[in-house]
Amino acid sequence: MSTLGQKIKEARTRRKMRGEDLGTMVGRTKATISKIENDELEGSPDPQILIRIADALDAPEILIHHCETCPVRQHVFLKYFPDLNNIRRGPAVIAGRLRKEMIEAAEALDRLGERFSDADFRARPDYQDVFEREMEQVVDVKRGIEILEFELMLSGLHSREDLRRVEERQQRKCEDHGHHVPRTGTEG
């Protein structure tokens, strides 16, 4: 398993950033950044510095690693909340859950579509309840996608940059077909 310092160094290298530049961004010297990356600090780095480093490097996996290796979490928190030890995760598990949520969301959208096709669908007495219940299922998909993306980064399989490239490819595909063209700041 990688150390916290290794995670930080990997993220900095991936961003093609010098230790000096990272130090400037987070208010620390190059020497301090080097000590952090080489795990030479006495104790853990200050959590506020870790947050700044993770933000500067756009690397949430740094904070995740810190939380997962935190002795308080390992020896205290999980003893008081043992159910947290049994949470199954991993990209395959989350992808399976997301697929189920997407199927349920598609069914919910079918039911909403039927309602929306009524001439005066909002006048039905149960419209708001039906709308909220069905839309909850649709919103679950959005959350599921965010969880999958987070798990892909947490597992180290993909970086935030990998996910951005996928989104950019999809955006270009949509634009090529005349859909979802982003607005510019000059449009009124």
Residue range 33-55, pLDDT digits in tens: 999 999 998 888 888 999 999 99
CA distances to 62, 99, 129, 147, 151 from 92, in Å: 22, 11, 34, 12, 10
Q: Are 160 and 54 in contact (CB under 8 A)?
A: no
Where are the domains positioned within the chain? Answer: 4-82, 91-176
Task: Tell me the mean pLDDT in the region 8-28.
Answer: 94
Share of the chain above pLDDT 70, in %: 86
pLDDT greater at residue 79 or residue 28:
28
Residue 188: its pLDDT value, please? Answer: 46
Helices 47-57 and 4-14, axial angle in degrees (round to 10): 30
Q: Is the pTM of this model over 0.85?
A: no
Which overall architecture, per CATH, does domain 4-82 show? Orthogonal Bundle (1.10)
Other beta carbons within 10 angstroms of residue 16's beta carbon come to 7
pLDDT tens-digit readout, 100-131: 999 999 999 999 998 888 888 888 888 889 89
Q: Which of helix, strand or coil describes residue 177?
A: coil
Quick check: 12 pLDDT over 90? yes
